[in-house]
Structures are given as structure tokens and as C-alpha cells.
Amino acid sequence: MSKSSLPKLQFLLLATIFIWIKTYIVYKTSFDIKIESWMQEFILFINPLSFLLLVLGLSLFMKEKRRNIFIIVASFLTSGILFANVVFYRFFNDFITIPVLLQTKNMADLGSSFTELFKFSDLLLFADVVILLAIFFLKPSFIKVQSVTKKERRYYYLIAMAVFFFNLGLAEAERPQLLTRTFDREMLIKNIGTYNYHLYDIALQSKSSAQRALADSSSFVDIENYLNANQKKPNEELFNIANGKNIIVVSLESTQSFVINETVNGQEITPYLNDFIEESYYFDNFYHQTAQGKTSDSEFLLDNSLYPLGRGAVFFTHGSNEFTATPEIIKDYGYYSSVLHANNKSFWNRDVMYDSLGYDYFFDLASYDVTEENSVGWGLKDKEFFEQSVDLMKTQPQPFYSKLITLTNHFPFELDEEDKMIDELTTRSRTLNRYIPTVRYQDEAFKAFIEKLKAEGLYEDSILVVYGDHYGISENHNVAMGEFLGKEITSFESTQLQKVPLIIHIPGVTDKDPEVFSKVSGQIDLKPTILHMLGISTKNDVHFGSDLFSEQKLSFTVLRDGSFITEDYVYTKNTCYDKATGLEIEESKCEPYKEKAAQELDYSDQIVYGDLLRFYNGTSYKQVDTEVKE
């Protein structure tokens, strides 16, 4: 593009600069966006530019008289988007999304509070529009309106696209697989910008809406037949054992089973969990089944007994779906439900999803006393989290179903020196080395949690379900894992490392008669297990899991990537392994299970993408006091 072209673009470039700088100022003054490096600051600064160049550049395809009018209208609309986010953020500490707009309760709350939220200084967000209008009407000599050639438009859009891919490249380098691995709205806006984020949000919603629109009630017939054919009778002794008791579910962040009963330099990594297992029901062949949604996927599995999506997170992409989740079911039996998690409520779209799941209350970051002194890494330390959570649980009506989500044992596994109770490893993986002390700290925090439950009188009236949410050490660290475990980490071993601990503790029962259950199982089995312990029949419930205590339960579980594990075989990466030896065997051994694994994933996807549970009228939950009635 030549110098002679610039005068033709003065009005366009002036509008672009106005909105660009204004957006950056809003980022710094109206949003609490955490910046951790100069690169993140630079990305935040440039991220509005590509959108503005591309959208305002559409004016170059218009007649001279209409070009500046389009630029003014576009400036007004983008200012309106910015204004709406600023006002919305003041109330919800969050950014506007399409699912949130569909939450009428949220929008009603915002509307009723608008007079309190609005500040006259917000009008400054439209100051550039006023300036552009003044220029448009006064027509100063330095602003020229001339026709633009095709060559000039072409060069302009080459530059605009270059800026876009430069921004996206930096963002991907700073946060790999940004658009598929993270659904934290703050992270997206920090990297791709407010305006691009809203386009991304619209694209996701449009895709979901199209799939949902094509679905009808007939889509559920085959799925219902499959689920009915796979019903398993619950264990008669344990059915209804938790009736009237509180259910406390603890999600142990990034905790894998390999740390259980493992030592470093003669010191146990999880001494308290090891002892706790000795007075509990422990499942030593229990697998996480999460995908890109990580912790949110494990929550989805827990409460719905449906598989997460292979790409993206259900919490984010289908947060407004109809579900038949555990919190909604147990509400009819007098249970109060809550989630306790000292993190931003918008992370993983939890504020929207928890409403869809039927939770009564979400104790988020605002419910906790969080300071620099009691925080590390991702936020509130686990010891303080557990201590404050017990106080919060005491305020709830009983019986309650409460899910606690820990934070400290989260990548990159940071820990203050005073909290380190075990040495780091000395492998070539800094991540694995640091993982061990944070797991040890989490173990100590859980010990303090149990002690406080006892001191506050909640322990005896509560059943605890404690499980690892997903892996902490990825396959990228297999060499280091091999050093630590003393064996080569093959694809077979890597699949075995997807085991996470599951402990079910029933005071007065498991401490007298603990047991280890070795049937292959997964997080998808948690919902029917919990409901049966509460004495609630799942005969007509939509779920793919089986009661972990059922004698009829198959020793079989499916991972989200299509891998599966049976009593005798492991199938992963298109290879069948003998489970006892870890050696490759003929694929025909695994063939009978491949269809079942694929079918379950496909049926579950159909339910989520089509929002099929909105058509389901056959659900009936029946609580039985003393006997199983299936």
C-alpha cells in the first residue's frame, strides 16, 4: 500500500485507533485481567486491532458517501459491546456470553440493578463516536473521502489478516491450543480480545443450536432401549445405606493412583490417604474419563453419568442443556446441594452450568477469605479451603450433597517452602518433580479436613466420596515417569496411569469392614452408585454407568479418546494389549468390546449435542426405605 493511499484511509484509521486505545484502557481500568508477563501485556494491547481492521475495513467496499457512515455506526456498535461488558462485569465479575444472555434470571437481575451499576463516566466510552460525528459533519480539510482501488483494498486486507494471524500465533505460543483447551473467558479475552471472543462465542452457540434444532424425540428411542438393556441391579446390602446422611464429594485436583502407597526417599507421598483407605471402600481399578474439559468433565461425569465431549467442554458448549443430574434428582428427597470451590465462578462456565445441573448454591471465590498469605499458585491453599468450607457447610440445611473442588495440586504445582513436607524428585521433568510435594500437601490438607469434620459434628452423619478428577502428569513426561516408576511407559502403561483414586468412606461401616474393589470402573459410575446409596432407584434414569457395588457390574470402562479397559484387555491407540502382561496381542481379542465402547460414546454425544433430555418424559425416581425395588 503506497503513501498516496493513506489519505483515503484517514477516517477509517482514526476510528480504528480510537476504539483500539479505548478498549485497552477499559481492559486496564474496568476488568480485572491478570497479567503475568510482558508478552501477555503485549498480546492484551494488540488483540483488539485485527477485529477492528477487518470489520471497519468493510467500509472500503462501499460508496464514498456511505463509507464514513458505516464506520460511525460500527464504532457505535463496538462501543456498545464494550459498554455492555463493562456494566455487566461490575455486577457479575464476568463477561457477557450467549448462554448467559439466555439465562433470564441473570439478565433480570442485571436490569433491575442497572441504575446502580451505571456511572456517568461510562458515557466516555462513546466519546470517540461523538468526535467521529463532528468530523463527519464539519468535514475538516485533513480528512479526505476518495474512492479506493481494488489493489488498495487487497493490500489493506493482507495487512489486516497478517495482524490477525500474528496475534493468534502469539496467543497460541503463550497458551497452546487456546481455543480448544481453555474455556476460561478471561483467558480468551486476554489473548484474542473482547470482540473476537464474542464472535467465537456466537460460532459455538450457532453450531450447538443447529445440532439441537435438528433433533427430535425420536432421536432418543434407540438410546433409551440401549440404556434399559444395560441396567444393573444394585447391591441389596448397600442400597439405601446413606439415606438421610450428608454426601460430601471431594474432588482431588490432578491426583493419580500411582501416588497411593508410593514413597520418595522412604517417605510416603500420601500417608493419610493410605490410612484412610484402610478404613474405607477403595477402588484400585478406577479411571478418569475426562477430555479437554478436565475438572469440569469430571464434574459432568459425576453428576450426569454421561460422557464428556471429545472436543471442548460440555460445561462451556452446552451449559444451558436440560440434564437429569444428581442435584436435581435428590432435591425431591429433601437434599440441599452445593458446590464449594475457591475460584472465579465463571471458570469453566460453572455459574451457568450449575444452574442447569440443579445445584442450590455455589460457594465460589467470593465466599472465601482469600489473601496473598493464604494463597499459592491458582489461589486459596487447600488447608484454608477445607477449613473455611467446613464452616460454610455448617450453614447449610441437612441433609446436604456438597461437592468440594481443591486447587493446590494444580499445574504448575507451586508450593510455599513452609508447606513442603517431602523432597522434590530429581527426574528430568520439573513438572513431575514439583508434583510430588503438592500431592503431599494436599494429603495433609485432607487430613485436617477430616479432623475438622469430626470436631464440628459433621463426620458421623456424612458419607465421603473422594476421587481424583484427572491426570496431573501428561504423556509429555513419560520418560521422567519411567525414571520414577522404574519401567518403560508404553501406550499400555500410559493408559494404566489414567487410574485415579476413588475412596468411599461410610462411618460406622467401612472402618469396621473395609474392602478393596478391583472391578474396572470409571467416573461415569459415580452417579448411580451415589443414588443407590441414597435409596433412589435409577431404573428410569438416563445414565451410562453402573453401580460400583453391583454384582452384575461389568469390569469395563471407556475413556473419552475411545480407549477402553476390561478385566483382561486394554485397547488404546488402535492396539490391543493383554492386561496381565502389558504385551500386544491380536486385535480380535478386543473386538467384542469395540462396538460397545464406540456406541456408548456416540449415544452420549447425541444426548449432549441434541439436548435430547428435553424430550425425555419417562424418568421416575423412587426412594425405597429398606429394600430394593427395581
Q: Are 253 and 381 in contact (CB under 8 A)?
A: no
Q: Are 604 and 222 in contact (CB under 8 A)?
A: no
- Residue 568, C-beta contacts closer than 8 angstroms, at least 6 positions apart: 578, 579, 580, 589
C-alpha span between 104 and 70 (Å, rounded): 32
C-alpha span between 583 and 349 (Å, rounded): 42
Q: Which of 23, 295, 324, 438 is catalytic?
A: 295
Q: Are 260 and 277 in contact (CB under 8 A)?
A: yes
Comparing C-alpha atoms, which of 365, 369, 363 is closest to residue 404? Answer: 363
- Indicate if the alpha-carbon torsion angle 226, 227, 228, 233 is positive or negative: positive
C-alpha span between 323 and 91 (Å, rounded): 28
Write out the DSSP string of 112-152. HTHHHH--GGGGGGGHHHHHHHHHHHH--TT-------HHH
DSSP H helices in 175-311: 178-181, 185-192, 194-214, 221-229, 271-277, 294-304
Q: Are 301 and 523 in contact (CB under 8 A)?
A: yes
Tell me the residue type at 88.
Answer: F
C-alpha span between 38 and 496 (Å, rounded): 40
C-alpha span between 97 and 175 (Å, rounded): 21
Phi, psi at 229, each rounded to 5°? -70, -20
Q: Which residue has the cell 484400585?
A: 284
Residue 247's beta-bridge partner residues?
A: 401, 463
Q: Are 511 and 224 in contact (CB under 8 A)?
A: no
Sheet harboring 584-585: ordered strands across?
Answer: 556-558, 564-566, 569-572, 575-578, 584-585
CA 358 to chain centre: 17
Distances (CA, A) of 356 to 38, 311, 403, 468: 39, 20, 16, 24
Active site residue 295: yes
Comparing C-alpha atoms, which of 273, 321, 245, 256 is closest to residue 474? Answer: 256
C-alpha span between 225 and 220 (Å, rounded): 9
C-alpha span between 311 and 209 (Å, rounded): 17
Beta strand 462-468 with 246-252: parallel, antiparallel or unpaired?
Answer: parallel
The catalytic residues are 295
